[in-house]
Amino acid sequence: MDKSANDMIVSKTRISGAMHDPRRHDSAHKHVAGAAEYIDDIPEPQGLLHVGLGLSDRPHAEIIDMDLSAVEKAQGVVCVLTAKDLPGVNDISSAGIGDEPLFADTKVEYHSQIIFAVVAETRALARSAARLAKITYRDLPFWTNVRDAIAADAPNVCTPMTLQRGDVKEALARAKHRITAEMEIGGQEHFYLESQISMAIPGEDDEVSVWASTQHPSEIQHIVGHILHIPSHAVTVFQRRMGGGFGGKETQGNAFAAIAALAAKKLNRAVKIRPDRDEDMAITGKRHDFVTSYDIGFDENGMIEAVDATFAARCGFSADLSGPVTDRSLFHADSSYYLPNVHLVSRPLKTHTCSNTAYRGFGGPQGMVLGERLVEEIAYALGKDPLDIRKANFYGQPGSGRDVTPYYQTVEDNIILRVVEELERSSDYRARRQAIIDFNKKSRVIKKGIALTPVKFGISFTLTSSNQAGALVHVYQDGSVQLNHGGTEMGQGLYIKVAQVVADVFQIDLERVKITATTTGKVPNTAPTAASSGADLNGAAAFNAATQIKDRLIAFAAETFKVKPEEVEFLPNRVRIGDEEIPFGELAKRAYGGRVQLSAAGFYKTPKIHWDRAAGRGRPFFYYAYGASCTEVSIDTLTGEYLMERADILHDVGRSLNPAIDIGQIEGGYIQGLGWLTTEELWWDNKGRLRTHAPSTYKIPLASDRPKVFNVALTDFSPNIEETIGRSKAVGEPPFMLAISALEALDMAVASVADYAACPRLDAPATPERVLMAVERMKAVRSGQ
C-alpha cells in the first residue's frame, strides 16, 4: 500500500518509535545480513589506487639514509610519498602541537612509525613494494614502559595537572592507619572490527572528498587541509558508520585520511588505504598504561582521611590526547568517595611507543580502579567487608560537608548510595558473600570471590569548547523528514536515538525519519563523538532544529485556520488545528505552498560547565552517571585460571531514550571492561616491538568468557536533574567501569588463600599468570602467620 503523506494509515494512539521507546538499532538487520555498507564495501571508483605503508623497524633512531629506488621500480607502483612530497605541514597532531609527523623524516620514535607510503595498482603490490626499502639508522636510547621512562627521567609529552585540597602531609602524619603502595594498570587495544580505512577522491581545483572511518570528521577535514595546504572548505568528509571505534578513531584516523588525500590530489585518481590488523595494531595508539603510587591515611572505622597519589602514564612518542586523558584519571581517582585531604598529580611520560590516545572512559577507568584499590586496602587492613568501607566513604548529599570533589565541583545529583543498596538487595550480596566465605574454608583448590563496586562518572568534554553540536533537519512536502547531525555512528546506536528525538517532536512514526551520513558538508565544525556525549549534544541540536520547524508550522496553521497557536496540537501522525485534524504530511504540503521554511539548522551547547586547569578548579562536568555491579568469580589456585560465575548490574541512564540500546551498551561496556582488567595484555619486547599485535597473541573476551548468569537492569528512579534531552543520561563510557567489581572479586578469591589477612594487590590485567603469582604471595603470607 502506498504510504505517501496524504493517504498513509494514521495511528490514532501513539507514534512508533517515540523517545524512551525500546527500538532496535537502525542498522541491526543490515549488520546481521551483511548488508550494512562500510567504506571497504563502497563500489570502487574506476582507476582506484591502493596504499602500502613503509614502517620503521627501530624504536628510536636517526634516519641516516633512505634508498627507495627498489620500491619505486617494483611492479605496479605508481609513486612513493615521503615527507618531501607534502605541500603543507608535516604534522597530524590533534592539537596542532607539531609533535606528530605524518611521515618520519630525520628520526623515528617508535617501532612501526610511518616513514613513507607506496601508491600502487593493487593493495598487495603496494604492501609488497613497501618492504623493499633500504633504510640506514643510527640507533638511539629508547624505553617503552612507564618504569623505564621514570628511570630515564623521560620528559612529559604535555603539562601535568595537580588536584589538591586540604593539608595532605599533616593529615597523613596524624592518621591512625597509613598504607603506601603501587599499582600497575595496563593499557588496551581498541580491537574495532573494522580497521582504520580511508578513501579519497579528487575534485576540481583544490577540492577533495574523503570517506574516513572516524569519530571526528571535522578533525580529518582540518588535518587534510593542513597537509595539502588548502582551506577547510575544499575538504568534505563523509562517515556513515564505523565498525567500532571506542576512542581509537577519534584522532588515529588522521594519518590514513591524510595519506589517501595526498595521493589522490597528487595523482588525480581515487586512492584507498586499509592497513591489515597487524599494521593497524602496531601503528595506532591504545589505552594509556599507568603506574600509580599512593599513600592513604584512614581511621579505625575505615574513613579516608587523606590520599596522596601520582599517576604516571605511558603516553607514547607524542602528546595526542594524553593531556585530557591523564587529567580525567585524576578527576575519577575519587571514584565515588569523599576525600577530605587530597593531592593528585599526573605524569604524562614520553615513551618510544605508538602515541596512546582516547579509549572508552578516557582515563577515568584507570583513576577509578585506583580509587577502588584504596578501599580494598582499607578493608583488608581492618578486616572489614569492602562494601561497608565503600558505603561509609560515599559522597554525601548537597550541604552535608562531604559533597565537593577534589576539583571543587559540588555533587548535586548524588544517588550512589541508593543505587548500591538496591543492587545489594537484588543481588543478595550479603548472603552470597557469607556463603562464599564458608565455601572457601572447605575448598582447597577452587576459591571464590565476590565484590560490589560503584560507578560515578562525569559527563562532558573537559575541553569546554568541544561541548557543542549542530544538526540539520528537513521536512519534505510528503511529511517525510531527513536528519543530519555532527555525531558519528560506530555501532552505539546514536543515530536511532537522535531520530527518535526528531520523530517525537513532530509526533510522526520513526520510519518517517531518514537518517543520513555524517558529513562536514552539511553540519560544520563538529565535536568528536566521544566523552559519552553524542546523544546529549546531537540529540539536543536535532531537537532545536525540529522545534524551529514545528514552531513555524504552528504559526502557519494558526494563521491559515484562524485559530490561536495554543489550539494547534501535534498528535500521532496528524495535527489538530482547532476542531479539525489533518495528516502531518498535508500540513507540510500546505506550509510549503505558504512559503514556510521547512528546513532548520539546530545548535546546542552544554550549559553551566567551566574549568580552570591551572587552578584545578571548576565544574568540568554537566552531571554524573551512576551505576553499580556485583560480580562473583571462582579461581583455580593451581593454575590461576578463573571463571566469571555471575554479574548483577544496576545502572543509571536517567530516563532512557532507548532502553534496548542502553542495555546493550551496558552489557558490552561491562564485557569490554572485563577484557581490559583480565585477559587483554599489551607486551613490547626488548627491541621495542609490539608483540601482541593480532588475535593470536592479544586476547579479547569471547562469548564464553561472559558471566554464566548476567543480570542487567536500569534504575527507574533517576531522571536527570539537568535539562538533558528527554532527561536522559549518557551511557557510552560509564558502564565500562562496572567491570572493576570483577577485579575486586578476583582479589577476594586470592585473599582467601591467606584467610583474607592481606590485600593481594593484583595488578591489571589480572591474567591467570598474575592471579597464580598472587596466590603464591598469599601462601607466603599464610605461612608467615
Question: For residue range 323-369, what is the model confidence (pLDDT) as tens digits?
Answer: 999 999 999 999 999 999 999 999 999 999 999 999 999 999 999 99
Task: Supply 328's cell numbers.
Answer: 580525567
Alpha helices in 243-340 (DSSP H): 254-267, 277-283, 322-331
Residue 13 has a pLDDT of 64
Q: How far apart are CA 778 and CA 136, in angstroms?
A: 51
In sequence order, the β-bridge partners of residue 51 are 119, 273
Task: Supply 635's cell numbers.
Answer: 579461581
Choice among 733, 744, 769, 776 that is catalytic? 733
**Does 733 participate in catalysis according to the annotation?**
yes
For the chain, which ranges sit under pLDDT 70?
A: 1-13, 785
Between the alpha carbon of residue 437 and those of residues 66, 67, 597, 647, the distances in Å are: 64, 67, 69, 18
Specify the length of the chain in residues: 785
Q: What are phi and psi of 122, to 5 degrees?
A: -135, 160
Residue 2 has a pLDDT of 36
Pick from 363, 359, 358: which is nearest to 312 by CA?
363
Give helix then strand counts, H and E, for the chain: 19, 29
Pick from 43, 63, 45: which is nearest to 54 by CA?
63
Angle at 365 between CA 412 and CA 308, to 5 degrees: 80
Cβ atoms < 10 Å from Cβ of 56: 22
Name the DSSP letter for residue 590. H
Name the DSSP letter for residue 634. E
Cβ atoms < 10 Å from Cβ of 550: 20
Three-state SS at 156: strand
Q: How far apart are CA 186 and CA 676, in angstroms?
A: 8
Alpha helices in 383-493 (DSSP H): 386-393, 416-426, 429-442
Residue 7 has a pLDDT of 32
Please, are residues 239 and 518 in contact by the beta-carbon 8 Å criterion?
A: yes
Our measurement of the distance from residue 336's CA atom to the centroid of its chain's CA atoms, rounded to an integer in Å, reads 20
Q: How far apart are CA 43 and CA 300, in angstroms?
A: 68
Residue 785 has a pLDDT of 62
> Which H or E element spans position 297?
strand 289-298
Please, are residues 180 and 294 in contact by the beta-carbon 8 Å criterion?
A: yes
Please, are residues 462 and 324 in contact by the beta-carbon 8 Å criterion?
A: yes
Residue 5 has a pLDDT of 31
DSSP 473-524: EEE-TTS-EEEEES---SSSSHHHHHHHHHHHHHT--GGGEEE--EETTTS-
What is the residue whose three cell numbers read 606528530? 100
Residue 8 has a pLDDT of 31
Residue 9 has a pLDDT of 35
Pick from 521, 37, 519, 47: which is nearest to 271 by CA?
47
Task: Supply 589's cell numbers.
Answer: 504540503
List, edge to edge, every strand of the sheet that includes 177-185. Answer: 162-165, 342-349, 304-314, 289-298, 177-185
pTM of the model: 0.96
Cβ atoms < 10 Å from Cβ of 7: 11
Q: How far apart are CA 533 and CA 696, in angstroms?
A: 34
